[in-house]
Structure 1
Amino acid sequence: MKNRKIITVFGLLAAMSFGASAAQLVNDQQASGLQSVGTVSLGGVAGAPADIRQQLSQKADAQGAAAYRIVEARNNDTWHVTAELYK
């Protein structure tokens, strides 16, 4: 339940942000028509959800992904987030 709330927060922040990154955060429904190309993870990172989203987007960009979907998010003083990448 807590993970769903965290993922929801990331989704809301994605809708409100206007960053210059190319990789976009997508939901399950949007990802269903995309081709998976792997995963990326962040661990031991402190910051706000918007900061984490920006770091995930940069990692996705570096691997040539057009989109990513958060599949796991935990916050125990620092964030651990895993995202699936899509072309």
Structure 2
Amino acid sequence: MKTTFTFAALGLASVLSFGAAAADLVTQQDVASQNLQPIGTISVSGIDASPTAIRQHLSRKADKEGASAYRVVEAYTNGNYHATAEIYK
């Protein structure tokens, strides 16, 4: 029982810490209104993932590139998934 509680607590802590440091998903209107500066593009691909998982992959990759925000410019799923995003500082 203690082990299950420990894993649940660690899982919750990792979700909370991910949300605190993650790059934000923004729209084109957000880019203009917040005066965000583009710094490049990123893409992720894989085998069958949920939209939430794809956004998490993009956010992590944006973080690694030093971005504070990203905007999805292309995304599709067809057994495999692929998404491309522009990243901003």
TM-score by length of 1: 0.74
- Paired residues for 1:1-87 under 5 Å: 19-32=19-32, 33-87=35-89
Q: Would you identify which runs of 4 or more consecutive aligned residues in structure 1 move more than 2 Å?
A: 18-22
Local SS of the residue matching 1:52: helix
2-structure distance, mates of 1:79, 1:41: 10
What are the ranges of 5 or more consecutive residues in structure 2 without an aligned counterpart? 1-15
Task: Calculate percent identity across the aligned residue pairs.
Answer: 53
Q: Once superposed, what is the RMSD of the aligned Cα atoms? A: 1.4
Residues 22-71 of structure 1 deviation map (CA, whole Å, 9 limit, x = unaligned): 20000010012210000000123421100010010000000000000000
The higher-RCO structure (CA 8 Å, 6+ apart) is 1
Local SS of the residue matching 2:22: coil
Provide the aligned length of Structure 1 versus Structure 2. 70
What are the ranges of 5 or more consecutive residues in structure 1 without an aligned counterpart? 1-17
